[in-house]
Every structure is written in structure tokens, then in C-alpha cells.
Amino acid sequence: MTVTLQEVTAHLDQDETDYEAAAKLGPEALPHLLQLVEGDDPGRASKATYLAATIGGDQSLPVIEKAVVSANPVIRVAAAGALGRLQHIPAALARALLDDPDAGIRHLSLQALEIHLPAGFKVKVEQMRQHDPDGAIRAIAADLVNRLPP
Amino acid sequence: MNLSDSCRMIGSPTSVRQAAQRENMQFPLSLKAFITALGCPFSKCIRIHLKVLTSPTVPLSSMLVRMRQVYQTADIGVEVVSRESLANIPNFSVLNDLNVGACQLGTPPTPQQNQLFQNRNNVEANEIVVYFVRSLVPANNGCATFPAGSPGAAVAQIASRWTTAHEVGHVLGLQHISGENTNCPPTNPNCCSTPDFTRLMTGCGTGNITGVPTIVQAEINTMRTSSLSNECRKAVA
């Protein structure tokens, strides 16, 4: 079954997108999502990021990669939120988002770690516990760090 | 206090003189008196409070104008009781990207929604708070699930000019209109095959609305009988 761009945007244009319903479009929607995340509409781009993560699989990662390097923080927020929806956290993307200058994005990235509790992030989260300029993030990192595996 | 907060500012921008004359107000008239004097040319009023963590891309004033254009067709006025900036306040920074979960009718609000919506600050029980945030997680234009006893909605920066009116419609008890997903296959439910962009409560995206959307009589009845729809405060004779 071929998925059209119009079928994808019909979901993303909704004020309250039902991502579980939209994900039934399947991986054939991903090329359109990649196009939308690179487009000039931040609403569609951020929703495309979440939908790609909800569809899941390795094929969704290029969409999220594009969102991670977006100049628009709203789209990077979507990337950080999308991490929590993936089955496995992509380490390089998570590290980039944990270093984001935007506190909200770092916060959401820590929440994604909280969901997955992946190995290899304990040192980074300990650094954030000690040095993050945002007090709320230091507190979240302190709560999380001892639950992470080495 | 902002001139556009007055319940008298109906629909499209109108001059203070025109609005005051329509209300038979006495001249000379100060702006303060115009804004604060009770009285509203509608039989019902909703009272809303605007709390802003991040301003939406579409100006708030434009959203208010659009909202009044629709609500006046139900003979409902929209009074902005207060505005509060919650920007750059440490306790609120982590709520600026608000986790709203599935945001479906009947689903409970998330802990973050509970935390944000606790901040009512002297809002009365029958008044509605609209929180403007940078983004919703997952990304949505708005979300109208709220904790019991704290009626309100969250609206994201990416919202359309009609989103606030749409979300407050949900808070007043409106649901998305039916008939927009005709013959959608199981592989693509909610496919919006037959959208109706003439209606405020379209479930297919208020960003696609052209012109002033409508609300039908059944929706008007629901809005007017909501416990959040108040008798307008009458002018003192």
C-alpha cells in the first residue's frame, strides 16, 4: 500500500493528533515525515518527529536525526520527547540532546533516559547533577543517576 | 489589563467609541472605565484567565478576536479576567514543554498537567484558565484534558488562530464533529477523508479553517448549559 503525503498531513494537521492511529500508516509514511521535518512548518515538523518515533524501527531514526539538528527548539523538543517512544535509545542522539543549550530539551532527554535506563550514561548524568546550570535539571539528574547502570 | 480583555470587544477589532456607544455608555469615558465597567452585550459569558509561559506564534490578540467571532454566534461573550506571565519563572520552566500524554477525551491528565493546572491564583471555580506553553509532549496544537475542579486547556506555540476557541470548546463540553472519517480503512483510522473545515470543532485541524467557522445549535446548547458558562455580570445602573 502506498502512503501519500496528503494522508500523512491529514493526521499531522489535527489539533490533537492521535499518534497511535496515525502510526498505522506504517513505515511507508517515513519518507514523507523526513520531508516534513526538513520543511518550513514547525508544527508539522515536530509532529512528524513524534510520528516517526511512534512508527518506530531503525528506519525512523533519520527523521529524528534531522529534528535533533534543527535550529528550531520546538523541533528539538520533539526529538527529545520522541526518544522516550523508541524501543531503544540511540546513544549519539541522546548525547547530543543532553548537551543542548535549551534546558527544556535537556529535561526531556533525561526523562527519556528514565524510561530506558540505558547503559553508558551514568557519567554524563552525574556531570549534569553537579554542573547543569538549571536547578530543576540538577534535581532530576540526582534522582536518576543512581538508577542508571554503569 | 488590556483593552481586548473587555467582553465588549466583539469579534473583529472595533473602536472603543463604537463599542461604548453600542453599550450606551456615557462620554467622556476613560479607557480604564471602559475596560473595568461591568456589563456585556450577551446573555452568557465565559470568563477566562490567560497564563503565558511562551507566547504562541499567532498573536494572542488574534486568537481572542477569532474566539469571540465564533462564540458571539452562540450569544456567549468572552471576558478575559486576568493575564499572567509565567515566563522565566524557575518552577515553571520544566512545564513549558508540557507532557499531556494521549490527551484523549476521558483520559486522566498527566502529573505535569496536574502541577501546571494547580496554578490558578484566585481563579474562581467557574472560570477557565488557558495556559500557553512552548510545546506539548507529544506535539499537539492544544489539549483540553484537565484535573477535576481546575477547568482549563493548554495551547502550544504552534497553535492555529482557532486553537484556543477549539480547546475552550472542549472544556465547555464539545466533542469533535462526526462524519469526517467516512470509509477510513482499518490501516488508516481518523483519516479525515471527509473533513468539514467550516466547523470550529473539526477534528481534522483548525489550521485548515477558512472564514469564520460555525457551531451548530446542539453545540450551542452544550456550551450555554455548561457550568462554566455564566450569566454575564450586569452593568450597574
Tell me the chain B residues in contact with residue A18 when contact means C-beta distances shorter than 8 Å: 102, 104, 189-190
Are B172 and B228 in contact by the 8 Å Cβ rule? The answer is: yes
pLDDT for position B193: 96
pLDDT for position A79: 98
Local structure of residue A129 (DSSP, 8 states):
H
pLDDT for position B10: 60
pLDDT for position B6: 67
ipTM score over 0.85, yes or no: yes
Q: What's the rounded mean pLDDT across residues B71-80?
A: 94
Q: What's the rounded mean pLDDT across residues A95-109?
A: 97
DSSP reduced 3-state for B48: strand
Indicate the residue of A16, A74, A104 with minimum beta-carbon distance to B103.
Answer: A16
pLDDT for position A129: 98
Taking only the tens place, the pLDDT of each residue in B117-155 is 999 988 999 999 999 999 999 999 999 999 999 999 999
Indicate the residue of B166, B190, B195 with minimum beta-carbon distance to A15.
Answer: B166
Q: Could you write out the DSSP letters of every residue in B186-198?
A: TTSSS--SS--TT
d(CA A140, CA A101): 17
Range scoring the smallest mean pLDDT among A64-73, B38-47, B89-98, B188-197: B38-47
C-alpha of A125 from chain center: 18
Identify the residue whose cell numbers are 463604537: B18
Taking only the tens place, the pLDDT of each residue in A111-126 is 999 999 999 999 999 9
Higher-pLDDT residue of B17, A131: A131
Question: How big is chain A, counted in residues?
Answer: 150
Q: Which three cell numbers stand for residue B151?
A: 477547568
Taking only the tens place, the pLDDT of each residue in A1-39 is 699 999 999 999 999 999 999 999 999 999 999 999 999
Which residues, at least 6 apart from A55, have a Cβ–Cβ distance to it below 8 Å? A23, A25, A26, A27, A29, A30, A33
Which part of chain A is CATH 1.25.10? Answer: 1-87
Higher-pLDDT residue of B89, B169: B169
Q: Which three cell numbers stand for residue B161?
A: 488562530
> Check: CATH 1.10.10 for A1-87?
no
Q: What's the rounded mean pLDDT across residues B70-96?
A: 91
Range scoring the smallest mean pLDDT among A92-96, B67-71, B101-105, B202-206: B101-105
Are B112 and A136 in contact by the 8 Å Cβ rule? The answer is: no
pLDDT for position B1: 54
Tell me the chain A residues in contact with residue B204 when contact means C-beta distances shorter than 8 Å: 10, 13-14
Higher-pLDDT residue of B181, B231: B181
Tell me the chain B residues in contact with residue A13 when contact means C-beta distances shorter than 8 Å: 192, 204-205, 207-208
d(CA A96, CA A113): 13
pLDDT for position B237: 40
**Preferred mutation among A1, A2, A4, A16 to probe B, highest tally of B CBs within 10 A:** A16
Range scoring the smallest mean pLDDT among B26-30, B96-100, B163-167, B174-178: B26-30
Residue B5 has pLDDT above 90, yes or no: no
pLDDT for position B176: 97
